[in-house]
A and B are shown apart, each in its own frame.
Chain A
Amino acid sequence: MNSRGHNLVIRAEVIRSIRHFFELNGFLEIETPLRIPANAPEEHIDPAHAGRQYLQTSPEICMKRLLCRGHKKFFQISHCWRSNERGRRHLPEFTMLEWYRADSCYNQLMNDCGELLAHIAQDHHCLKGMPYQGQQIRPAAPAERITVREAFRRYSAREMDATLADGSFDECMVTEIEPGLPWDHPVFLTDYPVEHAALARVKQQDSTVAERFELYLGGLELANGFSELNDPVEQRARFMEANRRREARDMPPLPLPEPFLEELGSMPASAGIALGIDRLVMLFCDTTDIDSVVAFTPEEL
């Protein structure tokens, strides 16, 4: 079997390991519709049309409605579609793991991430470490937490606020911060500026940042989690702001998920996270090319 064929074996093992972890921890596996009338409008995410509806860019809208209905701990592994995203680490159709916890916040999710990585590493017989691109990485090692503001101090000559002011935050993130992050153990980049956290709760101690984090390992951005915003008025305002920004860039505005906004007021304090399964599998397959961990790329269809 060629290496891509072998990667599919590893992929199946990783996914089995993920399911086992959530089962052990009392999470319910759920399924929600992939074709929906509205995603959460985001400035930089373009949904794929499916007739008069859309394919999900993330299962978040339906999963958050389950929080409103009283579900406490649940997860889903599903396909997501984001138009125009194609590169060595991006597929326009990819596989996402999302999990949610009611009565919780983003700190608990970071703990979950650490335990999930350790669980997969154990199943993969690499608790002590494994090779990735010629270096040793340790998925099961204790994770480091760095705030975004601190990361700018460490890895960039510029302050976070200055890059927000002149619109170069994303560019600086890609060219300076991400390449500077430690490689060999999990890193949580935490407390993103509020304007970069569309559905996250603002941090109580510092209203300029939100309780959002990203998980990195081996230079790969693996997951994005946050304490959920559950104020429907504020959430609607942020969606409309995202649409205003889209229109300013000649992008079509997107419909709002009205039933979600109607139910949001009944959501308990919760936290949710999305993890890219293809990226995680790339680590365990020791590859930097997302194409080599999927059975088919869009170009092969």
Chain B
Amino acid sequence: MYTAADLKKGLKITLDGDPYIIIAFDFTKPGKGQALYRTKMRNMINGTILDRTYRSGETFEPASLEERQMEFLYKEGTHYTFMDQQTYEQVIMEEETVGDAKNFMLENLKVDVLLFGEKAIGVTLPNFVNLRVTQTEQWAKGDTSGNDSKPATVETGYVLRVPPFIEEGELITIDTRNGEYSTRVKG
């Protein structure tokens, strides 16, 4: 149990059954008056932002969150299934919750799944993943148009800009934090 005095930026609490992270916090105390804790918090499942003011003495349930390494097994409809390889426990995450991560996930990729109780509420990818280019225009030698990049589609269906020399069938490294091309994987 937390009390209002424990509130600070980054603290995770449970409110109405959902996990929230405090994103802004201000301690105020007028004159000789009562301490007030003004907070801004983000719902860790749906991203909703809330403003709440608390008084000293109020108490909060911590949000019991756990990050566990799991393997992405498969996708069925809008459901993504992950498995803990130690316990063989499986969790299912909605496509909406997976978010942009779906652009970089191939089956058997090891990821960190964020669990709120039993519920999977987020996924963290490795910073870099390798994906094969399935479609891109041929680089015309002697092209003087000055373009230093061209669009390419990778095996997850994700489209990004790559240097002109990348060809179909090549393996490239993508930075999952910004979704940009990083390097070509040789060999």
B146 near A: Cβ within 8 Å?
Answer: no
Residues A250 and B57 in contact, CB atoms below 8 Å apart: yes
Which residues on the A side are within 8 Å of B33 (C-beta)? 44, 169-170, 173, 196
B27 near A: Cβ within 8 Å?
Answer: yes
**Given A171-B53, A175-B53, also A224-B29 (CB < 8 A):** no
What distance in Å separates the Cβ of B6 from its nearest Cβ neighbour in chain A?
A: 10
Which residues on the B side are within 8 Å of A214 (C-beta)? 31
Residues A85 and B29 in contact, CB atoms below 8 Å apart: yes
Residues B31 and A173 in contact, CB atoms below 8 Å apart: yes
Contact with B along A81-113 (1 / 0, CB 8 A): 000111111100000000000000000000000
Which residues on the A side are within 8 Å of B25 (C-beta)? 87
Residues B35 and A44 in contact, CB atoms below 8 Å apart: yes
What distance in Å separates the Cβ of B125 from its nearest Cβ neighbour in chain A?
A: 33
Q: Across the two chains, which residue of chain B brings its CB closest to A172?
A: B30
What distance in Å separates the Cβ of B37 from its nearest Cβ neighbour in chain A?
A: 9
**Given A87-B27, A88-B26, also A42-B32 (CB < 8 A):** yes
Q: A198–B30 Cα gap in the complex (Å)? A: 14
Q: Across the two chains, which residue of chain B brings its CB closest to A214?
A: B31
A192 near B: Cβ within 8 Å?
Answer: yes
Residues B27 and A196 in contact, CB atoms below 8 Å apart: no
Residues B32 and A198 in contact, CB atoms below 8 Å apart: yes
Q: Across the two chains, which residue of chain B brings its CB closest to A148?
A: B31
Q: A169–B27 Cα gap in the complex (Å)? A: 17
Residues A88 and B27 in contact, CB atoms below 8 Å apart: yes
- Chain A contact residue count (CB 8 A cutoff): 27
Q: A175–B57 Cα gap in the complex (Å)? A: 20
Residues A173 and B30 in contact, CB atoms below 8 Å apart: yes
Residues B30 and A221 in contact, CB atoms below 8 Å apart: yes
Residues A192 and B31 in contact, CB atoms below 8 Å apart: yes
Which residues on the B side are within 8 Å of A44 (C-beta)? 29, 32-35, 56
A295 near B: Cβ within 8 Å?
Answer: no
Q: A224–B35 Cα gap in the complex (Å)? A: 16
Q: Across the two chains, which residue of chain A brings its CB closest to B8?
A: A86
Q: A196–B32 Cα gap in the complex (Å)? A: 7
Q: Across the two chains, which residue of chain B brings its CB closest to A88?
A: B26
Residues A224 and B32 in contact, CB atoms below 8 Å apart: yes
A249 near B: Cβ within 8 Å?
Answer: yes
Residues A221 and B27 in contact, CB atoms below 8 Å apart: no
Q: Across the two chains, which residue of chain B brings its CB closest to A250?
A: B57
A178 near B: Cβ within 8 Å?
Answer: yes
A301 near B: Cβ within 8 Å?
Answer: no
Q: A89–B28 Cα gap in the complex (Å)? A: 8
Q: A87–B5 Cα gap in the complex (Å)? A: 10
What distance in Å separates the Cβ of A56 from its nearest Cβ neighbour in chain B?
A: 15
Contact with B along A222-264 (1 / 0, CB 8 A): 0010000000000000000000000001100000000000000
Q: Across the two chains, which residue of chain A brings its CB closest to B5?
A: A84
B106 near A: Cβ within 8 Å?
Answer: no
Tell which of A42, A88, A171, A250 has the most Cβ of chain B within 10 Å.
A171
**Given A171-B53, A175-B53, A249-B57, also A90-B31 (CB < 8 A):** no
Q: Across the two chains, which residue of chain B brings its CB closest to A86?
A: B27
Which residues on the B side are within 8 Å of A43 (C-beta)? 34
Residues B28 and A174 in contact, CB atoms below 8 Å apart: yes
Which residues on the A side are within 8 Å of B30 (C-beta)? 170, 173-174, 178, 221
Contact with B along A196-226 (1 / 0, CB 8 A): 1110000000000000001000000100100
**Given A84-B5, A175-B53, A196-B31, also A170-B36 (CB < 8 A):** yes
Q: Across the two chains, which residue of chain B brings its CB closest to A189?
A: B31
Q: List 19 A-B contacts (CB under 8 A).
A: A43-B34, A44-B29, A44-B32, A44-B35, A45-B32, A84-B35, A85-B35, A87-B27, A88-B26, A89-B27, A171-B53, A173-B30, A173-B31, A173-B33, A174-B30, A174-B38, A178-B30, A198-B32, A224-B32
Query: Told that A42-B32, A44-B34 touch, could you supply 9 new A-B pairs with CB distance under 8 A?
Result: A44-B29, A84-B35, A88-B26, A90-B27, A170-B30, A178-B30, A192-B31, A196-B31, A214-B31
